[in-house]
């Protein structure tokens, strides 16, 4: 019961976007912004955010003019599920070929693609191949054991263990996440064929730039094992040449909520996924900002440099499944700035969850961490003209909103804009080799990024007290000779750095004293 693919509407192709700096893929030049369309901006007054609302706010994200500083400067979008679904969140898909009518039409989505591409922004869709809604026509039909669709799902006449639920015929179906989200059966080649059709439609006919693949580690069960199974890896190895033939530049980004080593199993061989989210590094960034110590960040980043191919992982701080950054950090703007600095100083492909840049608060349950974006101090934060949005905004929206921060040079929003602008302008921050100097003080962390043409050093005081007892050191590095330090972020003047012939340097203090929560990004320029 395949939904018919709608007649394609021409979409303006991506133009003017570089293939990638220094031989890296295009995504290493990209800062992505994760959007829950339902909560971003309501254009039609029904209390629910929609695609036309997102289009109306694209200039906030990227206004197409590199000379302005009033936009955020992101160059990629990740849209949480936009398909028709049984729930508000969309991860229980009813039709893989259509757009949720609460969000608009397929033509609205194609308009969004054209507008985003004109701004040099790539667009990723959330794709949920592990399971469907129990309201999907495939599963409704599959309740009949004699249906051709019965074997599209995982059934058993008897069960042991969790995740099994009684179907209408008396058999039990497997649903890892919820009884309303039955798992698809990839032992049936027809399921793979159908999902390839889905990918082909959105990549080739519609023109999206890739997918964020939900829950990929659970795709195929194997005996009693449900995670990271050999059949899942084999399926991805077979899928890669298929989608790369459709679009060699298509990005496949996996949600593999596990340790870096297990995430790298999907990417390091270059024959499965392009990227996976780096949950270990996200936790380390948040830990460093929360506890004002660099130990876990330093250890995790050093480990990840050895585990992943250079720069080939997706970085973030928190996402739509986690308590928001500002809530974890006790509503402390200074510590939120520290976390942002570590995110953008690190290698990888950064993702920002909507509202993170203004310090939006939110703790579980999940709807509360997906609340509407506050744009102004007006009623309902300017999110909607409806009397009641789909869920209430945080009560602090009159003070915490985009308009309140946009012209304040010291706001969190301005800090995010500065960091993203620096990353866009400096190749070393995007694709530079990464070195993690010792700092001699647990409250100080540093990241050195080096390309053939540029050296950038980020130094951050994680603590609430000034620090003068510190000194940066590396046993070896690509640096040689003397370097003067030019400020990119944070005031100077800064001391020169002298590196030995081996690249070693020690006790380097860019400033005699680092102020509390001070973030400094320097360009080290050779003096000869």
Please give the positions annotated as active site: 214, 255
SS3 440: coil
Q: 222-234 in b/e burial notation, b at 16+ Cβ within 10 A?
A: eeeebbbbeebbe
Nearest one of 354, 270, 250, 263 to 313, comparing CA atoms: 263
Instruction: Starting at the earlier edge strand, list the strands of the sheet with 164-166.
Output: 155-156, 172-174, 164-166
Distance CA 397, CA 381 (A): 6
**Plot region of 211 (φ>0 → left; ψ -120 to 50 → alpha; else → beta):** beta
Helical segments of 201-331, H only? 230-246, 260-264, 279-291, 295-307, 325-328
471 neighbors 456 (Cβ within 8 angstroms): no
Q: What is the DSSP letter of 483?
A: E
Nearest one of 318, 319, 284, 323 to 300, comparing CA atoms: 284
- For 36-64, the three-class secondary structure string (H helix, E strand, C coil) is CHHHCCCCCCCCCCCHHHHHHCHHHHCCC
Q: Using alpha carbons only, what angle is made at residue 341 by residues 340 and 345, rounded to the nearest 5 degrees?
A: 120
Half-sphere exposure of 264 (CA within 13 A, CB side): 17
> Which residues share a beta bridge with 460?
445, 519
Q: Which residues contact 436 (CB under 8 A, 6 or more apart)?
A: 298, 301, 302, 305, 446, 447, 448
Centroid of chain to Cα 201: 23
| Axis crossing angle, helix 279-291 with helix 295-307, rounded to the nearest 10 | 160
Distances (CA, A) of 323 to 25, 200, 340: 31, 35, 16
Distance CA 186, CA 231 (A): 9
The pair of three-digit structure tokens given for residue 86, joined into one six-digit string: 């049984």
The pair of three-digit structure tokens given for residue 156, joined into one six-digit string: 């058993």
Centroid of chain to Cα 143: 37
Nearest one of 348, 363, 351 to 308, comparing CA atoms: 348
């Amino acid at each position: 019961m395949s939904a018919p693919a709608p007649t394609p509407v021409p979409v303006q192709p991506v133009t003017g976007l570089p293939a990638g700096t220094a031989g890296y893929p295009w995504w290493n030049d990209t800062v992505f912004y994760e959007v829950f369309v339902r909560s971003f901006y309501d254009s039609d007054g029904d209390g629910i955010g929609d695609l036309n609302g997102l289009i109306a706010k694209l200039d906030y994200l990227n206004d197409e003019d590199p000379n302005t500083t009033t936009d955020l400067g992101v160059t990629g979008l990740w849209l949480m599920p936009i398909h028709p679904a049984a729930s508000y969140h969309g991860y229980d898909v009813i039709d893989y070929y259509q757009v949720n009518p609460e969000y608009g039409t397929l033509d609205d989505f194609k308009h969004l693609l054209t507008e985003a591409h004109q701004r040099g922004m790539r667009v990723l869709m959330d794709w949920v191949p592990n399971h469907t809604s129990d309201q999907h026509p495939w599963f409704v039909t599959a309740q009949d054991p004699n249906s051709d669709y019965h074997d599209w799902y995982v059934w058993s006449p008897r069960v042991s263990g969790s995740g099994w639920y009684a179907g209408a015929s008396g058999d039990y179906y497997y649903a890892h996440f919820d009884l309303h989200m039955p798992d698809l059966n990839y032992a049936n080649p027809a399921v793979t064929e159908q999902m390839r059709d889905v990918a082909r439609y959105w990549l080739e006919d519609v023109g999206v730039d890739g997918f964020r693949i939900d829950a990929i580690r659970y795709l195929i069960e194997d005996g009693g094992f449900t995670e990271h199974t050999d059949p899942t890896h084999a399926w991805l190895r077979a899928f890669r040449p298929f989608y790369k033939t459709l679009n060699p530049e298509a990005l496949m980004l996996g949600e593999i909520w596990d340790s870096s080593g297990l995430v790298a199993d999907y990417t390091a061989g270059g024959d499965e996924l392009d990227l996976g989210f780096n949950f270990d590094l996200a936790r380390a960034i948040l830990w460093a900002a929360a506890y004002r110590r660099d130990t876990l960040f330093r250890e995790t980043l050093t480990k990840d440099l050895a585990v992943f191919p250079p720069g080939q992982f997706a970085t973030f701080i928190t996402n739509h499944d986690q308590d928001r950054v500002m809530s974890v950090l006790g509503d402390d703007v200074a510590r939120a700035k520290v976390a942002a600095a570590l995110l953008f100083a690190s290698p990888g492909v950064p993702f920002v969850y909507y509202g993170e840049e203004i310090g939006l608060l939110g703790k579980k349950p999940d709807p509360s961490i997906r609340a509407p974006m506050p744009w102004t101090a007006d009623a309902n934060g300017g999110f909607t003209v409806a009397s009641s949005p789909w869920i209430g905004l945080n009560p602090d929206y009159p003070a915490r909103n985009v308009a309140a921060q946009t012209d304040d040079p010291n706001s969190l929003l301005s800090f995010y804009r500065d960091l993203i602008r620096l990353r866009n302008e400096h190749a070393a921050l995007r694709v530079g080799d990464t070195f993690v100097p010792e700092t001699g003080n647990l409250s100080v962390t540093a990241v050195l990024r080096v390309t053939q043409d540029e050296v950038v050093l980020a130094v951050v005081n994680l603590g609430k007290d000034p620090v003068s007892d510190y000194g940066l050191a590396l046993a070896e590095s690509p640096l040689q000779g003397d370097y003067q330090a030019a400020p990119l972020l944070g005031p100077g003047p800064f001391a020169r750095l002298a590196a030995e012939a081996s690249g070693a340097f020690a006790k380097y203090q860019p400033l005699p004293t680092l102020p509390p929560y001070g973030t400094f990004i320097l360009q080290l320029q050779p003096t000869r």
